Structures are given as C-alpha cells and as structure tokens.
Structure 1
Amino acid sequence: MRNFWKRSMGLMAVLALAACREEPEDISWKETNQAVLDWSNTSRELVPSMVGAFVPHSRQVAFTHVAMHDAINSIRHRYATYGTPVAASANASPEAAAIAAAHYMLVRLHPERQAELDARYTTSLAALPDSAHKTEGIRVGEAAASQLWESRAGDRSNDAPTYVAPTPEQGVWRQVPPWSEQGLYPDSFLAHWSAVRTWSVPSAAEFRCPPPPAITSELFVRDLEEVKRLGAKTSAVRTADQTESGLFWAPITAPLLAIDVGQQMAARKGLDLEDTARVLVLGSMAAADAIIINMHSKQAYNFWRPITAIHEGSPGVAADPSWAPMLDTPPNQEYPAGHPQQSSAVANTYAKLFGSEPFTTPLVVRNPQGRERGFNSFQQMVDDVVLGRITGGMHFRNSGVVGAESGLQIAEWVTGHSLQPTSH
C-alpha cells in the first residue's frame, strides 16, 4: 500500500507539472537574435524611390523596430515598452512575436510590396518550430504592432506642406541648381516633416538649434572661405581622403547608419534577442527624431547654402558666379547641417550604450554604392561626416558642428528616457 501511494503521489506531481505547461518545450531549439536582424534588414531595403527618400524611410525604420521591441518586451518585460504592453503568455515565442510585428507594420507602410513581404514572413516563421508558443507569439506581435500603428495615427506625416519661402536677400535661402527649375521644395522634399510628431524627445521645438552666425561675423567668413576652397568641384587643395569623405557619406542616411552600425555592435558584443532589439530601436528613434528636428530648425532660420553665398558674394568675400560644388547641393536650407546632426544622433546613441572609447578594431561602414570607410571611434565617425559635407561643397563647418552637438543632445535624451530597463 505504501508503494502504491508513493507511485500515486509521484504521478500526481508529474501531472501537475505538465498542467502548468501549455505543451512540452522543444529543448533542441536555441533562441537567437536572427529574427530581429532579418526584419531589420527588410526594413533597410524598403527605401521609397523619391528625392528625400530618407525622410519617410526614417519613419518606416522607427515603426518597424519599435513594433519588434514592444512585441518582444510584452513577453519578456526586460525593458519598458513604447506603448502599453500587450497581455501575453510567458511561454509565447518572442521570435515569432518580432517577426509578426515587423511584417504587420511593413505591410501597412508598403502595401504595394505585400506579396514579397508575405513570402518573407512565411519563410521566417518556417524557421521556428510549430507550437502553441509560436502561435501565441504571432498573436502578441500582431497586437503590439496594431496598437503602435493606432497610437501614431495622425502623426502629421501626411500633412500638406505649408512652408512659405522668405523674401530673397543676403543670408536667406533660395532654391539652388540643379533643383531650381524642378520645384522640389517644399512639396516633393517633404517640408511638412518639420511638424511630424517626434518619437522620443518631447518636441522638435524644444530641441531647435540656436541661430546661425551673422554673415558679417568672422566665423561665417572663415567658414565660407573654407568651403569655397575645399568644396569646389575643381579644388586644387582638397586631398584624396577629403574627397573620399564627401563621396562616401553622400548616399548614406541616418536610418541606414542606425541599422548598419547597430547590427555591427550587436554582433561585436554578442547581444541576445532583447538587447539587439533595444539597440536597434534606440538608434532608429534617434535617427527619426533628428530628421524631424533638423527640418524644424532649417525652416526656423532659412539660411543660405554655400553655392548661393559664393555666387552672390557676402560681406568680406567676393562673388564668384562660376563656382560649383563637388556634389549637388540638397534642395533645402543649409543650417543646421542635416547629415552631421542625424549621424551624430545615431553614433552618440550607440556611444551611450557601448561606451565612447576607441574600438579595439576599426568599425567598417559600407555605403549603398559599395564604398567602405573604417572608424576607430564613434567620435571619429561624426567628425568625418562634418568634413564630408564641407568637402562636398554643401555645408559650412559651423553648421556641421552645431548639428553634431544637437545630435549628441538628442542621443542623451533618447538613451536616458526611452525604453529603460524594468525592475523585473
């Protein structure tokens, strides 16, 4: 009888343990961060075909990474979510949740690519073992993405531009070649983005850059002379490396940089699923906010581009109507320099997360044209972006320095206030 009760109690314990589980776990399955990396790359690839494509692309990249982050942390609760966490079983698959969240979001942002996205979705899910955990993860991911989509409705990304060009005069921006006859700004170049709702910082107005220097100041005259020398198409003083800097950074955008560098750092540090998702989402939000803030600041000051100042002349600098920049000047205002502001926001976000010390081995960034450039630190990367906009002939040095300082402030806010570790 004693042995019978022993056996009965043992059986009851096994049954009780089994009842606590939705189904036996597949112990052969090893969780990785691959789902986040794959859909981060999918987001990277879906760039609209338009001038200024980096602007809406930054919104798409932020949407995708926030959705994945919230889906994963609705299950794991390691970090605070952007929105309210979705109710989820603790056994739900966070990988399936990330895949479902990214797919849901990208289909809504790119309905014209649904067939392609559906095929990738099927392939991604097929890599995970079928189980109730997977099914629950899919539900959580779709719910998290749907909630995020609704919460950002009316973010003003679809507003009509209301920008009114100021009266042309010295120091004031006006359209430049080769865009002068194309009317790209404000309509095609999305001037209304200055009013889009930010992702992390309180508002673009609170992060507006200080005014540009007076065109009669020594600082401005110095900067104008520098870009006139180094940024000319036919410059005789620009070095080969300075030329390469301008060419290298021209096709790189902040969302592309956020994904490239974020993924490299995740690999270097061996980050798991949750930490990879958080690194990429913070970099993406910093990039998206920096673009909004940059456009807001540009429209506040309407500062002229080097090509205009050089062609027309400025106090202390003689006019040179024949001058041409090494690279085409973008069709919007000069100050503050956008690329340094946005790249600094991304680089300094990662510096806050991983440290600002020099890298043990250089971090190699590749641009969309296949060019590569190595950097020994995040600061060196930012400094090179500032240089590249001068040697490209499109920005003054002070505009790049101020933009980079603003990017640092954005990074400090994003890393200090968004998606913080929980107490769990």
Structure 2
Amino acid sequence: MRGAWKRSLGLMAVLALAACREEPEETWVETNRAVLEWSNTSRELVPAIVGGFVPHSRQVAFTHVAMHDAINSIRHRHATYGAPVAASADASPEAAAIAAAHFMLVKLHPERQAELDERYATSLATLPDGARKTEGIRVGEAAATQLWELRANDRANDAPTYVAPTPEQGVWRQVPPWSDQGLYPNTFLAQWSAVRTWSVPSAAEFRCPPPPALTSEVFVRDLEEVKRLGARTSAVRTSDQAEAGLFWAPITAPLLAIDVGQQMATRRGLGLEDTARVLALGSMAAADAVIINIHSKQAFNFWRPITAIREGSPGVAADPTWAPMIDTPPNQEYPAGHPQQSSAVVNTYAQLFGSEPFTVPLVVRNPQGRERSFGSFQQMVDDVVLGRVVGGMHFRNSGVVGAESGRQIATWVTTHSLLPTSN
C-alpha cells in the first residue's frame, strides 16, 4: 500500500507540472511595453526629405491609432476610430498592438520591411505562445487593415499643384537658401492642404483668420521685434532665447507627441489601454494640425520676415543685408506651423492630464541631443512661439494665432475622438 501511495503522489506531481507547462498564459503579465516599443519604432522612421515631418505626421497617426483600435477591439474601454474588430475576450491586446503597428509601418515603409519583420519577431517572442497570442495577432492585423482601407483615399498621395502667386508686398515668395534651388511649397507636399483630417471636420472649418495688415500696429511691432531678436548678428538676443530657437528647430509635432505622451504615460503609471489612447490622441492632433497649417498657409500666402525686412515694409525701412539666425523654411509664413502643431499636441495632453504646473519639470530632448526643461504645458507652448521669433523665421502674432488654433484643435480631438465607453 505504501508503494502505491508513493506512486500516486508521484503521478499527481507529474500531472501538476504538466498542467503548468500546458497553461503558460495563466502567468501572463501585461504591461504597456508593446505600445511604447512600437511607438519608438514609429518615431525613428522619418522620411529623409525636406518637409519630412509632413508624411511622418500621417505615419505616426496611422501607427498609434491602429494600436489603439486593436487593443480596444478586445478590451472595449474606449471608442475605436473604425468599427471594432470581432475578437475573443481572452485575446492578447499586447500581441494585437504589436501586429497592428507592424502591419501599418510595413504598409507605409515597404523599403524597411526586412528590418521591421526582424523587430516584429523579436517583439512577439517576448510574449508566451498560445491561443491568446495567436488571436491577438489576428485582431491586430484585422484592425490595421480596416484602418488602412478606411483612410485609403485621404489624398496624401495626390500630386502637388501649388502655383506661386504674383510677387508683391505682403505676398510670399521663395527665400534663401531655397530660392537658389528652385524649390517651392510643393517641397513641403502642398497637396497636404487637401488631405482628409483625422478628427476635426475639415481643414477649412479650422482655417485661421487672415494675417494683420502691413500697416497695422501689430505687424509693425512684430516686424521690428523679429528684425532685432531674429537677426543672425543680433546683439540683443539672450543666450537662453538663442537656445530656444536652436532647440525647437529640429523638433516636429509627431516627435513631440511621442516624447511628451510617453513621458506623461510613464509619470502617471498608465497601463496598456490608456497609454495607447494618449499617444493616439496626441498623434491625431499633430496630424490634423499639420493639415490645417498647410491649408491656412496656402490660403493667405503671407511673406516671411527675411523678405519683409530686406525689401522694406510700410513703417519699417529696408535692410537688404539682414539674415535670420536659422534658415527660413521653404513655405509661407502665416500661421506659424511649429506653434500651431506643437500647441495642438501639448494642449491635447493638457486636456488629458490637467494644465497645472508640473511637480517635477518635464525635460524634452531634441533630435540633436539638446535638452530643455519645462514647468508646465503652457510654458512649452510659449517657448515654441519665442523660438520661432528669435530664429528669425516668424512674426510673433503668427505664432500666437497658430498656438490658439492648436488649442482649438486639441479641444476638438479630446472631446470627439476615442472617448471612454460605458463598459
């Protein structure tokens, strides 16, 4: 009897061990790692062209919205952009996010497929194999496919058709160094003015008001300011002001959406679903702000400071030798794109996390390794506006109007898109 009893205990132990090996999904630990990892992959794939941030804003929105929709097709915590995909309740939302992001990035960057496939395999290998993982992959690919088809005709691939206006005072014309290369706003993908927006009803409905008259007190004041502060040889610009101009020059709205969104998600300890939603909303705000900015620029064709200062303007004498601290971009001035787009991103996060000053300053790093510390979201917006003035690229009012437009975009995005469900 004693031998039989021992054999019985041994058999029970073997069966228990086998059960553990057959059900690894019972020990599955879920984190937001997959969303952050593929958000960073999306961050890296910036097209190496002038104005590369324009298509990058679309790619970043596609990637993050796809991850959000894949996760919420399983969890149903927030409304999806497209219809939710039918999914098993025990499907892995992490596998779904990985599969959705990979699908979308391969669609948008087929030239990088081998690299993306390798990252995909490595990312999936961190998740236990089994039915949950398999179903999550299916859901992620289905959600990404649906999103891709939903926005298949967004006009991003239309041919640019911009025709430069007749040169006169107040009207944009190409500036150095681009004027020597024959480049026009088509370089900045001028067709983007007609691209379908992600959240707001249309770019036309969010078009900025007209720029100030050349004889107005606002314009004369702003022209004098940028002439002093934004000159390459300025004697009145402080070192911190110069640093603001240099810091913001290489940062773009989609990069800011990822950096600040990830930092806030980490600070608040957000889980998978909430991290995906935060980054999706920030990315949508950035993408819409890019579209609206290009639409407004083409509506007004306002001249850049370098042109106004060198040629002279009512009330301000010409200075033919004036040059900006930072080379002026090859498109129209009004409204200022960086303040408009960055404000849309930053105010989206202010809506989600609150606009109070930070307990611990937020440190942002630009692609060149420069860092700048901010005590609040509003300080970040104000710094962008300042940076474009001291860089010599924009008039202050253009930045202020752009920032206000960005705030309006953020308000719309956060009150109309990816809202919490009643579940």
Q: Establish whether TM, by shorter chain, passes 0.5.
A: yes
Do residues 142 (structure 1) and 137 (structure 2) align?
Answer: no
Q: What is the alpha-carbon distance in structure 1 between the residues aligned to residue 44 and residue 161 of structure 2?
A: 31
The CA deviation at 1:244 is: 0.1
Deviations 1:233-261 (A, max 9, x none): 00000000000000000000000000000
The CA deviation at 1:181 is: 2.3
Q: Which residue of 2 aligns with 1:10?
A: none
The CA deviation at 1:166 is: 1.0
Do residues 113 (structure 1) and 112 (structure 2) align?
Answer: yes
Q: Which residue of 2 aligns with 1:314?
A: 313
Q: Which residue of 2 aligns with 1:3?
A: none
Deviations 1:332-367 (A, max 9, x none): 000000000000000000000000000001000000
CA RMSD of aligned residues (A): 0.8
The CA deviation at 1:25 is: 6.1
The CA deviation at 1:24 is: 4.5
Do residues 255 (structure 1) and 254 (structure 2) align?
Answer: yes
The CA deviation at 1:374 is: 0.3
Do residues 244 (structure 1) and 237 (structure 2) align?
Answer: no
Deviations 1:29-60 (A, max 9, x none): 21000000000000000011100000000000
- How do residues 225-240 of structure 1 correspond to structure 2 at under 5 angstroms? 225-240=224-239
Q: What is the alpha-carbon distance in structure 1 between the residues aligned to residue 291 and residue 183 of structure 2?
A: 18
Q: Which residue of 2 aligns with 1:344?
A: 343
The CA deviation at 1:164 is: 1.5
Q: What is the alpha-carbon distance in structure 2 between the residues aligned to residue 293 and residue 253 of structure 1?
A: 15
Q: Which residue of 2 aligns with 1:209?
A: 208
Do residues 292 (structure 1) and 306 (structure 2) align?
Answer: no
Q: What is the alpha-carbon distance in structure 1 between the residues aligned to residue 313 and residue 213 of structure 2?
A: 11
Q: What is the alpha-carbon distance in structure 1 between the residues aligned to residue 88 and residue 351 of structure 2?
A: 33
Q: What is the alpha-carbon distance in structure 2 between the residues aligned to residue 183 and residue 273 of structure 1?
A: 47
Q: Which residue of 1 aligns with 2:18?
A: none
- How do residues 4-403 of structure 1 correspond to structure 2 at under 5 angstroms? 24=23, 26-403=25-402
Deviations 1:106-138 (A, max 9, x none): 001000000000000000000000010100000
Counterpart residue type for residue 60 of structure 2 = V
Q: What is the alpha-carbon distance in structure 2 between the residues aligned to residue 187 and residue 162 of structure 1?
A: 7
Deviations 1:280-314 (A, max 9, x none): 00000000000000000000000000000000000
Alignment length, in residue pairs?
402
Q: What is the alpha-carbon distance in structure 2 between the residues aligned to residue 307 and residue 212 of structure 1?
A: 17
Q: What is the alpha-carbon distance in structure 2 between the residues aligned to residue 322 and residue 252 of structure 1?
A: 28
Q: What is the alpha-carbon distance in structure 2 between the residues aligned to residue 167 and residue 308 of structure 1?
A: 14
Q: What is the alpha-carbon distance in structure 1 between the residues aligned to residue 93 and residue 370 of structure 2?
A: 36
Q: Counterpart of 2:314 in 1: which secondary structure?
A: coil
Q: What is the alpha-carbon distance in structure 2 between the residues aligned to residue 253 and residue 375 of structure 1?
A: 17
The CA deviation at 1:188 is: 2.3
Q: Counterpart of 2:364 in 1: which secondary structure?
A: strand
Q: What is the alpha-carbon distance in structure 1 between the residues aligned to residue 306 and residue 393 of structure 2?
A: 7
Whether the 8 Å CA contact 2:185–2:332 is kept in 1: the answer is no
Aligned sequence identity (%): 86
Deviations 1:144-189 (A, max 9, x none): 0001001111110011112121111000000000000223223322
Counterpart residue type for residue 306 of structure 1 = P
The CA deviation at 1:103 is: 0.2
Q: Which residue of 2 aligns with 1:7?
A: none
In structure 1, stretches of 5+ residues that fail to align are 1-22
Q: What is the alpha-carbon distance in structure 2 between the residues aligned to residue 275 and residue 187 of structure 1?
A: 38
Q: What is the alpha-carbon distance in structure 2 between the residues aligned to residue 416 and residue 106 of structure 1?
A: 28
Q: What is the alpha-carbon distance in structure 2 between the residues aligned to residue 323 and residue 217 of structure 1?
A: 22
Q: What is the alpha-carbon distance in structure 2 between the residues aligned to residue 389 and residue 346 of structure 1?
A: 17
Structure 1 stretches of at least 4 aligned residues deviating more than 6 Å after TM superposition: none
Q: What is the alpha-carbon distance in structure 1 between the residues aligned to residue 52 and residue 73 of structure 2?
A: 32
In structure 2, stretches of 5+ residues that fail to align are 1-21
| TM-score, with length taken from structure 1 | 0.94
Deviations 1:264-284 (A, max 9, x none): 000000000000000000000
Q: What is the alpha-carbon distance in structure 1 between the residues aligned to residue 253 and residue 384 of structure 2?
A: 11
Q: What is the alpha-carbon distance in structure 1 between the residues aligned to residue 376 and residue 298 of structure 2?
A: 32
Q: Which residue of 1 aligns with 2:410?
A: 411
Counterpart residue type for residue 54 of structure 2 = V
Whether the 8 Å CA contact 2:187–2:330 is kept in 1: the answer is no
Q: What is the alpha-carbon distance in structure 2 between the residues aligned to residue 80 and residue 26 of structure 1?
A: 27
Q: Counterpart of 1:91 in 2: which secondary structure?
A: coil
Q: What is the alpha-carbon distance in structure 1 between the residues aligned to residue 23 and residue 418 of structure 2?
A: 32
Q: What is the alpha-carbon distance in structure 2 between the residues aligned to residue 401 and residue 365 of structure 1?
A: 22
Deviations 1:354-411 (A, max 9, x none): 0000000100000000000000000000000000000000000000000000000000
Q: What is the alpha-carbon distance in structure 1 between the residues aligned to residue 188 and residue 23 of structure 2?
A: 54
Q: Counterpart of 1:100 in 2: which secondary structure?
A: helix
Q: Counterpart of 2:106 in 1: which secondary structure?
A: helix
Q: Which residue of 2 aligns with 1:20?
A: none
Q: Which residue of 2 aligns with 1:5?
A: none
Q: Counterpart of 1:373 in 2: which secondary structure?
A: strand
